[in-house]
Amino acid sequence: MTGNRPTGPDPSASFAGAIDCDLHPAVPSMSVLLPYLDDYWREMVSVRALDRLNLSLTSYPQNAPISCRPDWMPDGGAKPGSSLKAMQEHVLDRFELRFGILNCLYGAQVFHSEDMAAAFCRATNDWIRDEWLSRDKRLRASIVIPAHNTELAVAEIERRARDFRFVQVMMLVSGEVTLGRRQLWPIYRLAERLELPIGVHAGSAYRYAPTAVGWPSHFVEDYVAQSAAFENQLQSMISEGVFAKFPNLKVVAIESGLTWLSGFIWRADKTWKGVRAEVPWVARPPSQIVRDHVRFTAQPIDAADEREAILRLVDHVKSDRLFLFSTDYPHWQFEGDAALPSGLPDDVSRRIMSENALATYPRLSKADHAMEIAL
């Protein structure tokens, strides 16, 4: 995943004003969440020894090399991504970003207990608000939700809706059900109304094996299989009619990789032409639906020639509006400051770095004028 980018002059100045759509703040320990839990759940943390749990999602093992770039590794054994000061130094200031969107990967959303998951999602969102959003005006965040309980998920989204610094709803690509299933539609209905894209992030709740053929033996198998999960979920959302029902909804595939997309849209279009009678609400080719509704963060770019991969996808999908700038901080996806391949046309680079994000996240521009607005 690393070492594929050409070396050359430091391009960081060209990123001034860019919008980073995938930054990962790490919850350093459960202790920071305790002030945001009610009396009952604080007691449960003690009674059930929950504070002994490592709630970092095992999709990103802390000591796996890809989980943190070596020069971004914190001192003293702290969790990668747990320091706002380090994030500022490594990406926010270095790249002169206009905005950075925080996607917190923590075990709150994967507790089997729905009530526990909801409580820890609330606490996580409150902690992000106080310790990150309120300390750097460039930061925005995704709302962490207990997606396996639609009612509780909707309640958490509604609770955050007045704070326009929350610009997205985050779900994991592998949970309990395919994301097109209609039991999840209340989440999408509310997200569409509030102009909140659904961010589908690589990772798993590990309710089921992360591959279609069973449990892998090694981390590399799980990591590579994530792109297949994105294909499955995208096909589910198209076939179930999510985008027909919610025509203004946007979905952002985060850390999905990119090279699988060409083959997917070709096969989806071809098959749809033969069996479209089964899904009459899918009135357009899947490639057109993807072009209108789905966006992809640019890291990781899983190709040997990353510039050629992006331009090939622009040609295949007939759009340069699909891709969003991201560093995936602190994960190790590129070397130095080469967060985008060199040699892209200026208009393509400009759209990827900022214009596409502004079109995808309407709240980015609104949050400049009102942090707390009653709907």
Q: What is the CATH number of the domain that holds 149?
A: 3.20.20.140
Task: For residues 288-305, give the mean pLDDT.
Answer: 93
Report CA Rg, the chain.
Answer: 20
On whether residue 3 sits in a domain, the answer given is no
**Count of all residues that appear for the chain in the document:** 375
Residue 44 confidence (pLDDT): 87
Cβ within 8 Å of residue 251, ≥6 positions away: 197, 198, 199, 200, 234, 237, 293, 294, 295
Helix ranges restricted to H, 180-285 = 185-193, 219-240, 242-245, 260-275
Give yes or no for a contact between 144 and 109, defined as CB atoms under 8 angstroms apart: yes
> Any idea what DSSP says for residue 66?
G
Give yes or no for a contact between 18 and 354, defined as CB atoms under 8 angstroms apart: yes
On whether residue 340 sits in a domain, the answer given is yes
On whether residue 7 sits in a domain, the answer given is no
On whether residue 311 sits in a domain, the answer given is yes
User: What backbone torsions phi and psi does residue 5 show, to the nearest 5 degrees?
Assistant: -85, 145
C-alpha closest to that of 240 among 202, 206, 201, 280: 280
How many domains does the chain fold into?
1
User: What backbone torsions phi and psi does residue 174 show, to the nearest 5 degrees?
Assistant: -125, 110
On whether residue 373 sits in a domain, the answer given is no
pTM of the model: 0.91
pLDDT-above-90 percentage for the chain:
68
Q: What is the pLDDT of residues 96-125, one digit of tens each?
A: 999 999 999 888 888 888 999 999 999 999
Domain that holds residue 301: 12-367
